[in-house]
Structure 1
Amino acid sequence: METLESELTCPICLELFEDPLLLPCAHSLCFNCAHRILVSHCSSTKPLESISAFQCPTCRYVITLNQRGLEGLKRNVTLQNIIDRFQKASVSGPNSPNESRRPRPYSATLGGSTRGSPASSAMSLERVGCQFCDQEPPREAVKTCVTCEVSYCDRCLRATHPNKKPFTSHRLVEPVADAQLRGLACLEHENEKVSMYCVVDDQLICALCKLVGRHREHQVTSLSDRFDKLKQTLENNLTNLVKRNSELENQMAKLIQICQQVEVNTAMHEAKLVEECDELVEIIRQRKQVIAVKIKESKVMKLRKLAQQIANCRQCLERSSALITQAEHSLKENDHARFLQTARNVAERVAMATASSQVLIPDVNLNQAFDNFALDFSREKKILEGLDYLTAPNPPSIREELCTASHDTITVHWTSEDEFSVTSYELQYTIYTGQTNFISLYNSVDSWMIVPNIKQNHYTVHGLQSGTRYIFFVKAINQAGSRNSEPARLKTNSQPFKLDPKTAHKKLRLSNDCLTMEKDESSLKKSHTPERFSGTGSYGAAGNVFIDSGCHYWEVLLGASTWYALGVAYKSAPKNEWSGKNSSSWVFSRCNNNFLVRHNNKESIVEASLQLRRVGVLLDYDNNALSFYDAMNSQHIYTYDVSFLLPVAPTFMIWNKSLMIMSGLPVPDFVDCSEVGLPFGPNIVDYVRMTIWCF
């Protein structure tokens, strides 16, 4: 019905055609709308009767009028009949109170869909009088004609507005006050009411604006359509605004709660500050008393010792004075015999007194006068001056250049600017899956391993997967809280391996702790096992490990060999044929002067130098890649893109000369480190060298 209604709509008033005219261009137009077009061309010098042509608003075809004017155009009776049938086929008749035709432009003013709203209830309670009644007061209106803009009582409606032409197209609604019925006037044409909406200028316009005004080339829409869209937009925005206000209220409530908590915490910390400072003052007071007592005790002890020394000095002085007096008396004797008789004894006593002067005269210790005693509280003063509330320590910094690794361990080193305030450290680590958002990765608690209560600035993690990248965080902790370091991406070394003697061809001899393999035609005593290479010419051996995770790198020194195959294979790969001729093995091979890659018996020639002497093999199991490199020239040769389903073992096959293998190597710089992780450097790698000799 909506599609049919759009076909029955006038392009000028955007309402159902009323008394439609059939134009020569086959388009239709309401009689009144055509009359409006003619009126818009009138002027003081150009009356209505002189206008003999106008343009079709749909196709711009020029319509020429005869002397009868618009009356000379044919009526589109067929279209009028269709409109009449359409109106009768509607949910209710055109004069029904519940008539549900598309609302006219005034609906935005009346609120066409306000059933049950407070506005509609108030409007229904307001008494609307009939505008045709002669009596005073007028009878109550039962209908309002939107087209006529007049309200009728039941008697006047039957008498002046019968349900006959030309009133059949008029729209009757519940009684509406005149102020609510009147539509908005056009800003450019005072006598016209707005009836459509200009989408380009975002403005209400009338029919004349569309016909002859500046909006004639603009896209327009009906007021009801614009009303619905704008109302929906406003409702959506209002919903979002209400939701945002609710969120702001919740946020404000949280902030208020935090403010209250700040007040509580501040009071608690202030009380704690007073308590701690009082304790410090009490400690200083007690230490002052203790030190004062020590000073007094030291004073008494020193004075006692000094008094004893003074007494000793006095005794020595008295003895010396008596001896001096006796010696002086002897020196006055002039009789030689008498002098010799008395002076010899005195001289011996004086000589003895002089020789023992250090004993007779006590040593006075000047340190007893507190020369070696000092009060120096400069260190304590600095500590007191630095008193402050405790904060969480600054984030530690992981020193990647100091970190070391093996194939199953990583030793992490870090530094901290606040070592004095750090109580302990906590190390957290997990396997790096390639996720770049470290915040969300850190929040996935289940995948993290945690080592708590570390007292040193380094820690060694054991039991890690070989050739695997890990993410490490270090957390510095004290009583005030903790802070995390920036993440560090560290990697364990590749898995070292040896040749498995159970897989070596029976014509190959392994020696040197299974690191050397050489061809031995006489060595036929080995028993046949399913794991052993047994094909004619397929002299090969596999590594003694099966790899199912991580990123691993090894190199093969080729020497002068011109026939070989290097790669990986499942345990189920056939051992009686060259690797790569089945779906369970992937190899890079050289056959004389041709280099090729082979898998599932499909070969592809690749470019490589005939001087190739060292091949690097990179197995990135987690990223489903097997790559080969010219290790001497740092050049990429080929990469298999394969989704491994089972663990794989390194595989080596030769036909002539010798090969030497180095396993457990760090990934070199010329390999894309963003793909495989950063190496730690060759100084920490313990790699295994294996030599394969064939003659």
Structure 2
Amino acid sequence: MNPLRCLQERSTADIREPGGGLAHVLSPCSLSLLGPPPFVYSVPVFFSLCVCLSVARTTFPSMPSKLCREAGCSAFPLPFSPLSFVKPTAWAGGGDRHRQNTPPLPTSFSFQSLKFWELSSKKTEREPKKEKEKSKEIQFDSRLPAMEDQKEALRKIITTLAVKNEEIQNFIYLLKQMLQNVEANSDRVQKDLEGEFQSLYSLLDELKEGMIMKIKQDRASRTYELQNQLAACAKALESSEDLLETANQTLQGAENHDFNQAAKQIKDSVTMAPAFRLSLKAKVSDNMSHLMVDFAQERRILQSLKFLPVPSAPEIDLAESLVADNCVTLVWKMPEEDSKIDHYVLEYRKTNFEGPPRVKEDQPWMVIEGIKETEYTLSGLKFDWKYMNFRVKACNKAVAGEFSEPVTLETRAFMFRLDSSTSHQNLKVEDLSVEWDAMGGKVQDIKAREKDGKGRTASPVNSPARSLQSPKRMPTGRGGRDRFTAESYTVLGDTLIDAGEHYWEVRYDRDSKAFAVGVAYRSLGKFDQLGKTPSSWCLHLNNWLQVSFTAKHNNKAKLLDVVVPDVIGVYCNFHEGFLSFYNAKTKQLLHTFRARFTQPVLPAFMVWCGSFHVYSGLQVPSAVKCLQKRNSATSSSTASLS
């Protein structure tokens, strides 16, 4: 009998039974069967043995200690532990790893020591598992970035596929719409074709009926003439036959005494007979060849009928095109003759960029349709941008051709606005219009704008009509409510004049009590009135008390004996020192200042109890240029104003 197997099979209850077989099982002879200490037991068997011995020791205190010592129970002092019999390789896994990770076995086999060793063993066994789990977590964490990349790549693929599917769906919808359009358009052009042929048939029928009618009329006329002539001939023939018979009868009765008288009567009758007064030539011809037709040429034309071709793109002739007097004359031509062209379409827009037109511009294309000739003139333009783009396309009855290559023409002109920050507080400035307000128009306007949340009057630099700021445009400074005060009801332009030729016009209210227009240095004092200091030149109109129209400079005035115009044109040539005033409508010269400008000047205006409006963005008129050249040597005397 194997005591170890018996010990494993016997339960704790059997051991606790009085007089149980424990003594038999654990007899010295049985324990001696365990063999010497080097004997190797399996760990479960040895643990079972130790537990049984401990239980037996507790249950049977009278158990011989020798038995326990022989069995190796550590409850008694032993020189060695029975567990030392077990080799290290006998533990689960064995080897150095197990020796390092396994807690030392207890030297006392009490329940507490065994319990503590069991918990330690479980903890030791869990640590490798935790390390494995931790290594797995680390490995999983290392896989996270790659997984996220895969997810992101998959999301991109999904997005791309969704976009592509949407594009395909849109394209399918477009194709279906195009199929419907093909059906509708083919029906429309077929109806148009049938209508054109029907109109052609109708025209041919009308022509045929007209020609047949003309043939019938000609036949009727000829028939009538011939029938009349035939009737006259028949009547003459009958009369001639009667006369012949009478003459024969008279000749046969020549022996009668009245023969002479009868012969004389016959002779007179023959002389007056219709047969001798009748023309034996037909009045009309029986030839109808003049009513013959030959439609060979028309037939060839009909045979050459085709669908209308798309017109070619016109070519703009820059050499023949002209920009002058705020007008643009554009000339173009077709690359080849096309008699089917019905009209042309011209498009233009303003820009501040030189060279080929850009795809995106702030200004839209303006369209002019129904042009019958190959040139067109745009007049009355305001050149508030530096350039203009132009393009033309030809159209026949059915379709329009491609646009010509766009061209860019320079439309340089003097463009400025009124600087509201320099105006008198009694002047209300709105864009290019000014109105005098006794209640303080500027102050009221500023308060109204602040109330509306708009703040102070916007600077013309930020005007949407001028996307590029002029380097000569003055920066907006302080509010300038005290820029001009007292009786200096003045407002200045916002753009300096320091070179070249410039022209602008102003229309004033006839009921204004006082009005002045001219130029001034920027250093004009806030109390200074136009024309009363060396830094300003102007024409001054006084409608208060007495009417006077004078040229003023440096507090000197010259009375002008001319009709005061409704609109005054101002011409300034900075380098040559000319400041001329014209009747804007008739281009009559009103006065010319000859000065030497020592610093840049600004357009200057004054109004009292009235209003005016300024027109800028104007080119120097050709008439003004001619007059300036003619009068450059003999300008109006300014000696009294110097």
Q: Which has the higher strand share?
A: 1
Q: Which has the higher helix share?
A: 2
**TM-score computed with the length of structure 2 as normaliser:** 0.39
Query: Higher relative contact order by CA 8 Å / sep ≥ 6: 1 or 2?
Result: 2
